[in-house]
């Protein structure tokens, strides 16, 4: 294989952003991705029985899908099961595109609140990259949100619908913050992309290509600019020169043949489970415990956003299932710390669209709200289209014993050791979650719900994978420096959310893509030094 200047491992949210950002610099860039390119006509939304079609190949858990691109994950010891998707586009293929940024305080939790650790960078550092990313990802929303520093140049917000409006009135009754969701969804035609037509099941892939997965945003431009993308290529390990410098990777191609790819710079973008797994599997004489892991920090401080679920049933027909599944409105009344609540940091109240018919029936039966036999139809009619749903996204504090290691026995199809997850909720998270569930029910009641339901943590929601190659100035308790380069390995960068020092209380994609742009920008600005 011909050597390249830059090797990017992973074609998901951050790999794509880094590839695009570097693609105009004249460098030779290759991205290796273990998954395939997706075909929107194959997404479940093109089927009338999409609620069933989604259950296998578009399931959130790789352990259920077991597609060729997937690797098994042992998450039996985790309170939250890991979710991901392996393809060009990565987890953005299935994400809901809910796209709020971190708050400024999320970067300084130790200084401000005495918990967690401070990032070596801050909101201001990332602000220009947030703006670039919002433009590339066609972010919709509404300017003027008092919960954030100014955010401009947004496309029109996604429609609230009757349900969103009803909950908005509930928020107002309580005097709580709420705002239209920041959504990476093209709400008007932009360039070659058609606008959103409210298909609904965004989290099974967007057949309209209006949802901004990176295969339809960053990748088309990066490829036009000359980036090479090889799919169905699984990287086994990253190589070094024996003097702590990254030199490339060894990978298996689509036919299972092994290749060695040399590169001057290696950028890892494999998510908060895949990245530590790759580093831990890249052992050598110089790094017997895994690449860049002399500190023992690789894989540690896993943060997952414990998620609560709140539901309200209303008497009015709201057609609540209509609209982008995970984008409607959000509330951040309880985002910033208030010690009087009994915990530090906070959460986002992320309003979701209601369930479609099959899901409404299944969940109603499971919760014994809908009986079998007599009364079934009446009970279904009392719920369908009348349910408002909300996720409580709780900030997770970094704890070193929450971690990703290598499973001693489990392997993927290429024989590469699989990741093992050890994760439990901390006391702060438990108190925060309890508060969020209680406030969520209060909101539903204030909005007029006649019945409410809440529980958490919801197990199959481990999408937000953070902290496992954390960013910091001290090599003893971090893996990468303030520019995303590994302390212990020159030329090795990480750009995904495994570099997060804190987790914030919002979906991580906006912030992690801003970080990827910032890191790749640093590489661009210091090209001569980086390449030599």
Partner 1 sequence: MDTPLLNPTQAELLSLMLETLIPAAPQRGLPSGAKVRFAEFAATKGILPKVVIAVDAIGTLARERHSVEFGALEPAARLALLTDRNQPNAMAIAEMQTYLLHCYYQNPIVVSAIGMEPKAPFPEGYQVEEGDLLLLEPVFLRGKLYRDV
Taking CB under 8 A as the criterion, which residues in 180-199 touch partner 1?
Answer: 180, 196-199
Distance in Å, CB of 33 to partner 1, minimum = 25
Beta partners for residue 312, in sequence order: 388, 452
Scanning the structure block, which residue is given the tokens 């600005």? Answer: 525
CB of 107 to partner 1, least distance (A): 7
Pick the piece of the chain touching partner 1 (CB under 8 A) from 50-58, 79-87, 126-134, 396-404: 50-58
Does 104 sit near partner 1 (CB under 8 A)? yes
- Is residue 112 at the binding interface for partner 1, with CB under 8 A as the rule? yes
In the complex, the smallest distance separating the C-beta of residue 161 from partner 1, rounded to whole angstroms, is 5
Residues whose CB falls within 8 Å of the CB of residue 368, separated by 6 or more in sequence, listed in order: none
Beta-strand runs (E) in 27-73: 29-32
Computed on alpha carbons and rounded to an integer, the radius of gyration of the chain in Å comes to 22
Site residues (CB under 8 A) for partner 1, limited to 116-135: 122-123
Is the Cβ–Cβ distance between 492 and 485 less than 8 Å? yes
- 49 touches partner 1 (CB under 8 A): yes
Nearest CB to partner 1, comparing residues 63 and 198 = 198
169 belongs to the binding site for partner 1 (CB under 8 A): yes
Which of residues 24, 26, 46, 153 is near partner 1 by CB under 8 A? 46
| Minimum separation from the CB atom of position 136 to partner 1 (A) | 24
Find the shortest distance in angstroms from Cβ 333 to partner 1.
8
Binding residues with partner 1: total (CB under 8 A): 71
- Of 43 and 71, the one with the shorter C-beta distance to partner 1 is 43
Contact call for residues 233 and 31 (beta carbons, < 8 A): no
3-state secondary structure 486-532: ECCCECEEECCHHHCCCCCCCCCHHHHHHHHHHHHHHHHHCHHHHHC
Work out whether 510 is an interface residue with partner 1 (CB under 8 A): no
Q: Is 107 in the site for partner 1 (CB under 8 A)?
A: yes
Residue 294, phi then psi, degrees to nearest 5: -65, -25
* Contact flags string 457-496 toward partner 1, x per CB under 8 A: ----------------------------------------
- Give the binding range for partner 1 (CB under 8 A) out of 7-15, 45-53, 264-272, 284-292: 45-53
Interface residue with partner 1, options 374, 408, 409, 532 (CB under 8 A):
374
DSSP letter assigned to residue 206: -
Query: What whole-number distance in Å separates Cα of residue 419 and Cα of residue 355?
Result: 33
The rounded distance, in Å, linking the Cα atoms of 464 and 99 is: 13
Smallest gap from Cβ 396 to partner 1, in A, equals: 19
99 is an interface residue for partner 1 by CB under 8 A: no
Judged by beta carbon, residue 7 or residue 206, the one nearer partner 1 is 206
Residue 340 sits in the site that holds partner 1 (CB under 8 A)? no
Taking CB under 8 A as the criterion, the residue among 76, 358, 450, 531 binding partner 1 is: 358
Indicate whether 42 belongs to the interface with partner 1 (CB under 8 A): no
Other Cβ atoms within 10 Å of 445 Cβ, number:
16
Element (H, E) at 498: none
Length in residues, the chain: 532
If we measure between CA atoms, which residue out of 527, 523, 515, 525 comes closest to residue 13?
A: 515
Among 26, 128, 149, 242, binds partner 1 (CB under 8 A): 149
- CB-based contact 165:197 (threshold 8 Å): no
Distance CA 114, CA 383 (A): 44
- Which residue in 496, 381, 523, 507 sits closest to 98, CA to CA? 507
Nearer to partner 1 by Cβ, of 103 and 264: the residue is 103
CB atoms within 10 A of CB 223: 16
- What minimum distance in Å lies between the beta carbon of 206 and partner 1? 9
| CB-based contact 44:205 (threshold 8 Å) | yes
332 interacts with partner 1 by CB under 8 A = yes
Q: Per CB under 8 A, does 164 bind partner 1?
A: yes
Q: Say which residues have a Cβ less than 8 Å from residue 521's Cβ, sequence separation at least 6.
A: 21, 129
Q: Which of 178, 182, 453, 518 binds partner 1 (CB under 8 A)?
A: 178
Binding to partner 1, residues 299-328 (CB under 8 A): 317, 319, 322-323
385 binds partner 1 (CB under 8 A): yes
Q: In this structure, what token pair is assigned to residue 265?
A: 């710079």
* Least distance between partner 1 and beta carbon 355 (Å): 10
Q: Which residue in the set 108, 305, 345, 350 belongs to the binding site for partner 1 (CB under 8 A)?
A: 108
Tell which residue, 245, 266, 220, 275, has the closest CA to residue 31: 266
Nearest to 452 by CA among 308, 310, 309, 307: 310
Residue 43 binds partner 1 (CB under 8 A): yes
């Amino acid at each position: 294989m011909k050597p390249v200047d830059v090797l990017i491992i992973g074609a998901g949210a951050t790999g794509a952003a880094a590839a695009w950002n570097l693609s105009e610099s004249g460098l030779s860039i290759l991205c290796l991705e273990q998954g395939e390119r997706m075909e929107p006509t194959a997404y479940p939304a093109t089927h009338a029985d999409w609620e069933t079609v989604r259950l296998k190949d578009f399931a959130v858990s790789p352990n259920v899908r077991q597609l060729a691109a997937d690797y098994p994950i042992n998450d039996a010891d985790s309170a939250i099961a890991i979710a991901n998707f392996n393809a060009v586009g990565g987890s953005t293929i299935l994400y809901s595109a809910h796209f709020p940024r971190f708050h400024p305080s999320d970067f300084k939790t130790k200084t401000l609140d005495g918990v967690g650790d401070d990032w070596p960078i801050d909101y201001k550092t990332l602000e220009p990259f947030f703006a670039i990313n919002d433009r590339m990802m066609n972010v919709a929303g509404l300017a003027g949100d008092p919960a954030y520093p100014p955010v401009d140049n947004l496309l029109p917000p996604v429609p609230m619908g009757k349900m969103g409006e009803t909950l908005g009135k509930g928020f107002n009754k309580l005097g709580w913050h709420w705002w239209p969701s920041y959504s990476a969804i093209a709400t008007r035609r932009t360039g070659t992309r058609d606008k959103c037509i409210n298909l609904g099941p965004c989290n099974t892939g967007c057949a309209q290509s209006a949802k901004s997965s990176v295969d339809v945003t960053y990748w088309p431009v990066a490829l036009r600019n000359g980036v090479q993308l090889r799919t169905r290529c699984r990287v086994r390990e990253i190589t070094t020169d024996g003097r702590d410098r990254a030199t490339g990777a060894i990978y298996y191609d689509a036919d299972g043949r092994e290749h060695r790819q040399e590169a001057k710079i290696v950028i890892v973008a494999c998510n908060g489970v895949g990245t530590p797994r790759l580093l831990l599997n890249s052992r050598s004489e110089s790094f017997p415990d895994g690449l860049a892991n002399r500190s023992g920090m690789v894989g540690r401080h896993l943060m997952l956003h414990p998620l609560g679920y709140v539901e309200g049933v209303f008497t009015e027909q709201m057609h609540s299932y209509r609209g982008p599944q995970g984008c409607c409105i959000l509330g951040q009344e309880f985002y910033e710390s208030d010690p009087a609540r009994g915990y530090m940091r906070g959460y986002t109240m992320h309003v979701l669209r209601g369930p479609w018919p099959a899901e409404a029936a299944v969940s109603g039966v499971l919760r014994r709200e809908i009986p079998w036999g007599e009364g079934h139809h009446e009970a279904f009619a009392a719920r369908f289209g009348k349910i408002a749903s909300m996720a409580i996204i709780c900030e997770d504090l970094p704890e070193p014993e929450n971690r990703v290691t290598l499973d001693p026995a489990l392997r993927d199809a290429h024989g590469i050791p699989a990741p093992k997850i050890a994760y439990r909720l901390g006391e702060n998270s438990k108190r925060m979650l309890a508060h969020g569930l209680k406030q969520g029910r209060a909101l539903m009641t204030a909005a007029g719900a006649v019945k409410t339901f809440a529980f958490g943590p919801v197990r199959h929601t481990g999408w937000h994978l953070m902290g496992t190659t954390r960013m910091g100035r001290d090599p003893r308790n971090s893996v990468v420096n303030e520019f995303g380069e590994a302390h212990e390995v020159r030329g090795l960068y990480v750009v995904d959310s495994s570099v997060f020092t804190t987790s914030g209380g919002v979906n991580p994609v906006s912030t992690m893509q801003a970080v990827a742009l910032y890191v790749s920008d640093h590489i661009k600005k210091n090209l001569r030094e980086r390449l030599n």
